[in-house]
Structure formats: structure tokens, C-alpha cells
């Protein structure tokens, strides 16, 4: 292996997804000499196989629903169906535009970009394309891939991963989705909008089970109204081909049949065969273990993004990458409060949250110290105009700050910015209630919820 000792980068990054490229951009901005290594495309899962293309599909589904339902707004339209090739063209144009912009951004920051499959070869080097890239520090950011279950073979034909679903050349007449988390309910929502008959299988007792139980129940109610079926509380046993599709059997013997099965049980870290363990990096179930500053047990190696056991969100990867870059540049850094990270599930209706659930708050502070208040979107003018249903729920420590904000309804993801500030600045309900929110907006529903919690409800219905 060639070793050009004359070039030693300040930072060598293995993986050009959200965490990796954010670290590269920030480190370069701070004057560090950076090499960024990526085997596929710059931007990683989020840009090419995750956040961006799935949200494009969901928006296409929203347009389809709007066309079908326009008569309720007094608008005459006709819906002639889904041109899936046209949907993919739209989706791919969105991705391509962002990809081109990101390539230009990385080039403008004078980051040395290397295409190729890299492997950690020492605590301070990565081997790629027959060369050894030396660095004073190495950042591991190799991301994740869709997971499966023992005995469940994802073949891309009738049994699909989210990667396959994003490029499927047809709208399936029927689909079973294994997993009722973020990925599962987003595809359920999009495919239902496209005209599929969808059934979601979730082994836990609720859809989006990591969310506040109230949010899960509201989403389940909305899915029932949309005709999206789901089976909760029983785990998967096996899947087999039928003459025309797939049959899924659950642990209780119940069976479901459909044209395709989408396996959406989460994503696992990409770490095998990359030299991490050989170089002494501590790991657990494939994840690289890090401290609160994203440093591994090897002093010259850090790790970020889906590779580490934190929230698998692109914006978390951004924040972790920036934290590493700033730490290496000698700036004062603050560990990430993962409870303070905004979380959005972009199904119809959307589920958005910041902070902790009511159940978690009671566990931490005691049931008698926790207050919860709800504001129904039925009392919000803009939500009425949009014909969306849902709620905003606040969780407060008695006589203290708001520690959880949980929202269900169309466009609630757009309200999560203020919710993030409320949680992270430890705002009291009375402080938020004092702020004037524009009318008519959905944003004022957040203000109304705080008015209610502060003891001076305005448009709340008893």
C-alpha cells in the first residue's frame, strides 16, 4: 500500500453522508485540511435513498389526494391516476439538483474528495483505491442500510426494502408493510395516496411506538379513516411467495396476503469488514461506541451518524459532524441533548415532537409532578381551512418548564422549529403564552396550547 507521508490531513472522513459531509464542510471552514472518502454518492442515504426522495413521494401523494378531494373546496378536478414514471422523474430531479449543489459546496470549501471504498487501516489512516490516506484524526461516518429479520430474504422482487420501494416501477395494488415506525408509516401513507391497499404489521402495541401514546392513537385514528389497515401487538413469524404475491404469517397464526411486502423494521450500521474492530474501536451489535463528544475509545478516531447508537436522523448526523469538527478545531463544544432534537414523521397526517413523552416525564419526575394539556386543531382556523384534524399536546413539570411537545396534523412538521426553542430554552407556559402568534396560522395552535397550560385558554373547547 502506497504511503505518501508528505500529505497528512488534519481530518480524514470515511463516509460522505449527512454526518460526514457536515463535518467536512465545518472543519474546512475552520481551517482544517480535510479528506472526504465516499464509495457511492456524496450525500449518502438521506439525499439519495431516504429523507429527500421519500418526502418527494409523499408530496406527490398529497397532490393526488388534493386532486381526488378538490370538490370539497368547490374546485372541479378529475383524477386520472398515477404516472409512476413521472413521479420518479420529479423525485429524481429534486435529488439531482440537491446533489449538484452539494458537490459544488464541497468543492468550494477545498475539501479533498475521494471516490472509493475505504477501510480503516490504522488509528490515523484509511486505505482507499490502493492508497493510504493519512490523518491526524479519523472520523467514521459509514451510515446504515435497511435491516431484515432471520429467515426473511429481501429479494427486491416481491419482498422489498425501502431502497427497492423508492425505485419501484409500478404502484402495487396491495402491500403489506412490516414495521409501523417512521419508514413504515411514511410508505403506507404514500402508497395509499397512490391507490394501493395497505396493511401495516407492527409487533408493538402502537404505530410510531417511540412517540407519545396520544400521538400514536391519533395517527391510528387518521389511518383508519383513510382506509390504511394495521395489525398491532403481534410479531412476524414468516413470509412466503404465493402464486401472485406474498403471504405473511404472524406469531399467532394470522395471515395476510398482498402483491408485495415492504420490510421497514429499521436500519442497521454499516461497519462490517471496514477494519474498525481490528484497530481496537469498541463496538456493540455493529454500532461504534462513542462518548458525548462523539469520540471512540481510540483517541484519534471519532464516529457520527447512523453508525453510532443515537437517533437515526439526518439532522442529528449534521449536528454530530459539526460537533466533531469544532472539537478538533479547538472550539468549546457542548454535548447534544438528544431529547431536544426535533422529530418528524412525514405521513398524512404528520407526527412531530420535541422533548420527552408524558410517560417518560412521569417516570423521571413522578406522576404527581407532571401536567399535560391538549389543544385540538378543530379550534384552529387555518387547520379548519386545510381540513386537517389532530392535536397539540404539551407536557410540563408542575410549576416548571415544558418538557415535551407532541403534535399530530397536516403540516405539523413546520411548527417543530418553535417547539424546539420552547423545549431547549426551558420555557415556562406563561412565557410562551405572552408571545403573539399570527392569525390565522397553524402556528397559533402552539400558542393556544400554552395559553391553556398557563391557565388562560382562549379558543379551547371544554
Indicate which residues carry an active-site annotation: 439
How many CB atoms are located within 10 Å of the residue 213 CB?
Answer: 15
Question: Are 352 and 56 in contact, with CB atoms under 8 Å apart?
Answer: no
Measured CA distances, 12 to 24, 43, 45, 275 (Å): 9, 17, 20, 15
Question: Are 184 and 178 in contact, with CB atoms under 8 Å apart?
Answer: yes
The C-alpha atoms of residue 274 and residue 202 are separated, in whole angstroms, by 33
The C-alpha atoms of residue 36 and residue 78 are separated, in whole angstroms, by 49
Question: Are 446 and 419 in contact, with CB atoms under 8 Å apart?
Answer: yes
Q: How many helices (H) and strands (E) does the chain have?
A: 13, 26
What the block records as the C-alpha cell of 89 is 422523474
Backbone angles phi, psi at 262, to 5 degrees: -100, 120
Q: Which residues are CB-contacts of 7 (< 8 A; sequence separation ≥ 6)?
A: 134
Measured CA distances, 458 to 366, 381, 409, 444, 449 (Å): 29, 13, 20, 11, 9
SS3 label, residue 65: helix
Amino acid at each position: 500500500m502506497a504511503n505518501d507521508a508528505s500529505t497528512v490531513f488534519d481530518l480524514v472522513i470515511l463516509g460522505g453522508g449527512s454526518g460526514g459531509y457536515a463535518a467536512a464542510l465545518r472543519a474546512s471552514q475552520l481551517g482544517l485540511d480535510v479528506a472526504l472518502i465516499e464509495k457511492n454518492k456524496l450525500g449518502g442515504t438521506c439525499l439519495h435513498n431516504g429523507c429527500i426522495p421519500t418526502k418527494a413521494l409523499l408530496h406527490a401523494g398529497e397532490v393526488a389526494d388534493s386532486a381526488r378531494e378538490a370538490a370539497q373546496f368547490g374546485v372541479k378536478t378529475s383524477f386520472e391516476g398515477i404516472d409512476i414514471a413521472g413521479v420518479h422523474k420529479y423525485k429524481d430531479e429534486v435529488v439531482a439538483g440537491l446533489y449538484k449543489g452539494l458537490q459544488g459546496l464541497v468543492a468550494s470549501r477545498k475539501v479533498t474528495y475521494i471516490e472509493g471504498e475505504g477501510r480503516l487501516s490504522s488509528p490515523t489512516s484509511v486505505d482507499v483505491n490502493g492508497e493510504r490516506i493519512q490523518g491526524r484524526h479519523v472520523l467514521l461516518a459509514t451510515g446504515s442500510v435497511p435491516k431484515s429479520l432471520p429467515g426473511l430474504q429481501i429479494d427486491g422482487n416481491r419482498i422489498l426494502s425501502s431502497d427497492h420501494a423508492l425505485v419501484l416501477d409500478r404502484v402495487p395494488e396491495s402491500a403489506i408493510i412490516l414495521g409501523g415506525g417512521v419508514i413504515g408509516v411514511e410508505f403506507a401513507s404514500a402508497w395509499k395516496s397512490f391507490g394501493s391497499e395497505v396493511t401495516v404489521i407492527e409487533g408493538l402495541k402502537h404505530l410510531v411506538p417511540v412517540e407519545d401514546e396520544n400521538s400514536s392513537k391519533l395517527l391510528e385514528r387518521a389511518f383508519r379513516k383513510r382506509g390504511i389497515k394495521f395489525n398491532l401487538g403481534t410479531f412476524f413469524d414468516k413470509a412466503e411467495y404465493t402464486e401472485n404475491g406474498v403471504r405473511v404469517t404472524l406469531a399467532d397464526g394470522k395471515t395476510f396476503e398482498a402483491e408485495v411486502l415492504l420490510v421497514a423494521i429499521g436500519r442497521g450500521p454499516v461497519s462490517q469488514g471496514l477494519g474498525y474492530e481490528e484497530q481496537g474501536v469498541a463496538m456493540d451489535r455493529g454500532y461504534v461506541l462513542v462518548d458525548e463528544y462523539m469520540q471512540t475509545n481510540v483517541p484519534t478516531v471519532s464516529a457520527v451518524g447512523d453508525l453510532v447508537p443515537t437517533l437515526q436522523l439526518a439532522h442529528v448526523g449534521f449536528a454530530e459532524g459539526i460537533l466533531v469538527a469544532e472539537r478538533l478545531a479547538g472550539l468549546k463544544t457542548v454535548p447534544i441533548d438528544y431529547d431536544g432534537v426535533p422529530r418528524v414523521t412525514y405521513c398524512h397526517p404528520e407526527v412531530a415532537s420535541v422533548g420527552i413523552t408524558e410517560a417518560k416525564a412521569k417516570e423521571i419526575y413522578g406522576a404527581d409532578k407532571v401536567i399535560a394539556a391538549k389543544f385540538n386543531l378543530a379550534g384552529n382556523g387555518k387547520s379548519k381551512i386545510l381540513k386537517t384534524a389532530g392535536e397539540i399536546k404539551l407536557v410540563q413539570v408542575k410549576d416548571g418548564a415544558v418538557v415535551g411537545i407532541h403534535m399530530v396534523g397536516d403540516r405539523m412538521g413546520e411548527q417543530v422549529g418553535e417547539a424546539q426553542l420552547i423545549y431547549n430554552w426551558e420555557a415556562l407556559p406563561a412565557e410562551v403564552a405572552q408571545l403573539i402568534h399570527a392569525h390565522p396560522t397553524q402556528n397559533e395552535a402552539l400558542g393556544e396550547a400554552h395559553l391553556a397550560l398557563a391557565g388562560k385558554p382562549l379558543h379551547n373547547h371544554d
